[in-house]
Amino acid sequence: MKANIQEDLRNKNQDIENTQNTINNDFAFTLKSTCLDENYHPTGGTRLTTNFANLARGENRQQNLRNALNMINNRFNSLAQLDNPKGDRYLVELEIMTVTLNIDHKNGVDNLPMIEVLKTNIFDRKTNQYIDGVAGNNYSSYVRDYDFSVLLIDYNKDKPSFCVPENYGDLHGKLYKCFVASDTYKEHFKMSPIICLSVSSNKTYTRTEYQHPVLGFEYQQDQYSLTDEYFAKMGLKVRFFMPANSVAPMAFYHSGDLLSDYTDLGLISSISTMETFQKIYRPEIYNANSVAAKIYQPSLKHEDYSLTRVEYDREERSRLAVEQGKYCEEYFIKPYRDILEQWSANFTL
């Protein structure tokens, strides 16, 4: 059974079309699913700023992917201890979900690249069955790259103090809400996304007494961040938790009730996936050799940390964020500005 489903995942590297219109607009979305395993090669349409695309390039690409996937599986089993004495009951399989936008199909304005996320699929060796995981892992967006790496930087040139443009993040937030509310999303995902990010290096976090059985100790931040405000326009709120045997809290952005809307295994799949990528991407915080204190301020200048056995080019990722933000500006924002502004002004859920 497992082999058949794995083969099915590979064969799903094709468009999953849904031509139904979304609410109160003529936009429709298309999903493309690609299996992320050690044989994964980024295609021309892949967002190159994603963590998984970065790992899948270079001479050691296959070993990089193998090591990262092993880290995810080991972390998952360490958290899913029930009836799992050898720590090898579960396997996490990942799908890259690529979302494209069709603005005006009649006039050929379609398949505009928008979003990529990872979806987790959990295989239970004991029951020989698959369990649905959670979408939203490694969330990345062309419009978000444009907002943070192009628009925000250009807007603040020659300004005496940092500020954000009027209606900053509105378009991105409405596009995200439109997608999650669409029939396309509902037909392929059973749960709302969880977008798990690193904590901010310019905020302070305080550990509370509340401890969730899966998410661990909850932390609270000292002030709202620009990222929090940006994600709030997507309809998302944030809570911070440090799972058992982690060394730093993570930010969990969600739309419903984080503690009751998801299964324990679903939460564990998000934790194991995103903590692994954060250990690779931000080892100063998530692979530090000491555990976050009760009052904690993360720092990318922290020197007491360990490197994983995965090669990662952080400078390349930052550079590509600017390039892909400019790509979004040239091929999406500027050509369709009037359409997008009109749609955004009229969009309601």
Interaxial angle between packed helices 264-281 and 61-79, expressed in degrees from 0 to 180 and rounded to the nearest 10: 140
Could you tell me the residue ranges of all domains in the chain?
Answer: 2-343
Pull the structure tokens for residue 199: 């904590």
Residue 287 amino acid letter: N
Specify the long-range contacts of residues 103-106, CB closer than 8 Å, at least 24 apart. Answer: 103/26, 103/27, 103/336, 103/339, 104/26, 104/339, 105/19, 105/28
Read off the pLDDT of each residue in 101-110 and give the average, rounded to a whole number: 66
* pLDDT value at 312 more than 60: yes
* Segment of 23-37, 43-57, 168-182 carrying the highest mean pLDDT: 168-182
* pLDDT value at 129 more than 60: yes
Read off the pLDDT of each residue in 88-96 and give the average, rounded to a whole number: 96
Per-residue pLDDT band at 24 (split at 50, 70, 90):
very low
Q: Is 42 helix (H, G, I), strand (E, B) or coil?
A: coil
Read off the pLDDT of each residue in 198-208 and give the average, rounded to a whole number: 96
Residue 348 amino acid letter: T
Q: Is 195 helix (H, G, I), strand (E, B) or coil?
A: strand
Residue 233, burial from CB neighbour count under 10 angstroms (0-12, 13-18, 19+): middle
Q: Is 19 helix (H, G, I), strand (E, B) or coil?
A: coil
Q: Cα separations (Å) of 163 from 143, 160, 166, 199, 202? A: 19, 9, 10, 21, 16
Pull the structure tokens for residue 50: 């994603």
Read off the pLDDT of each residue in 143-154 and give the average, rounded to a whole number: 95
Predicted pLDDT at 72: 97
Predicted pLDDT at 59: 77
Predicted pLDDT at 344: 92
Predicted pLDDT at 349: 78
Give me the chain's average pLDDT, please. Answer: 87
